[in-house]
Amino acid sequence: MDTNHSKDYKKAFYSKLEDCYLGVKIRDFHQGNIAKSGFSNLLKIKEQYFTHIKAYLDKEITSELQSHDIYNKLYTFFDSYLNESGTPFFTNTPIYKNIYAKVYNNSKDTSLFYKTQNLYYVKSDTFYQNLTLSDEKQNYEVFFDASEYKQNADNNKNKIIFKFVNVETNNQNKIQISIKVTNQKDLFPTLNNVFKQNSNEFSEDFLKDLKQNAILKDSKIKINEEELKKNL
């Protein structure tokens, strides 16, 4: 690592920051008992804060490799996106910067931007966990088993699949309808889908499984489709 380049970026950044943040220095003086103006007081406070920030950065950024990378990026950002007063450009970014996105127009507020903003995305995903719900009359429960749900490795939105497992009596002697929740379409090929393809209507196979289930028949529990949909 060339330490001279690192020092050059550091010096350039502080120079740019000082130009943007402090501007022209005003000589500190008192004229008799006349208090300094509010503006000159503000500049003095800003100068003190700049000194504090500079000391903080010098303390935190120690290694040469880290210093080169950070000060390079800081200087590039300040030099590319801020004008001499430290505010975002109100015109097109200079062509020689090879950045062509427009910073400002009359219909939008001024905001900072970066050239590659459209090349990034915020990864989002829905986490499914096991859940047990009960019908309104407390006659049966629906258990959603999400143990086979696999979190997406990328930002693809995999379709959620509900598979009917069985009907059984749980430890509390409550009739329970078990359903697998997964986003892996090749899992459980022998189990019937709860819903029709690309629909929120129950599949014929699922309804048939419920009607023919021995436990539901023996308990004389009739599943109300609309009520069951509320749980699903």
Q: Where are the alpha helices (DSSP H) in the chain?
A: 3-21, 38-60, 64-81, 204-212, 214-219, 225-231
Specify whether the CB–CB gap between 165 and 187 falls below 8 A.
Answer: no
Domain boundaries in the chain? 9-116, 131-231
Q: What is the pLDDT of residues 38-63, one digit of tens each?
A: 666 777 788 888 888 888 888 888 87
Neighbours of 29 (CB within 10 A): 7
Q: What is the pLDDT of residues 17-28, one digit of tens each?
A: 877 777 655 555
Q: What is the pLDDT of residues 133-172, one digit of tens each?
A: 877 778 888 888 888 888 776 666 678 889 999 988 888 8
DSSP string, 127-191: ----EEEE-TTSSEEEEEE-TT----SSS--PPPEEEEEEEEE-TTS-EEEEEEEES-TTS-TTS
Lookup: tokens for 142: 């629906």
pLDDT of residue 83: 66
> What Cα–Cα distance (Å) separates residue 48 from each residue in 54, 118, 126?
10, 38, 47
pLDDT of residue 90: 45
| Cα dihedral 74/76/81/85 (nearest 10) | 70
- The rounded distance, in Å, linking the Cα atoms of 87 and 214 is 74
- The rounded distance, in Å, linking the Cα atoms of 136 and 134 is 7
pLDDT of residue 10: 87
pLDDT of residue 210: 86
pLDDT tier, 91 (very low <50, low <70, confident <90, very high otherwise): very low
- The rounded distance, in Å, linking the Cα atoms of 90 and 104 is 6
Lookup: tokens for 108: 């939008």
> Across residues 90-100, what is the average pLDDT?
53
CA angle 189, 174, 218 (to 5 degrees): 80
Specify whether the CB–CB gap between 122 and 109 falls below 8 A.
Answer: no
Task: Give the residues across from 162 on adjacent strands.
Answer: 181
Gap between the terminal Cα atoms of the chain:
60
- Report the candidate in 9, 17, 16 with the shortest Cα–Cα distance to residue 64: 9
* Crossing angle (nearest 10°) for helices 3-21 and 64-81: 40
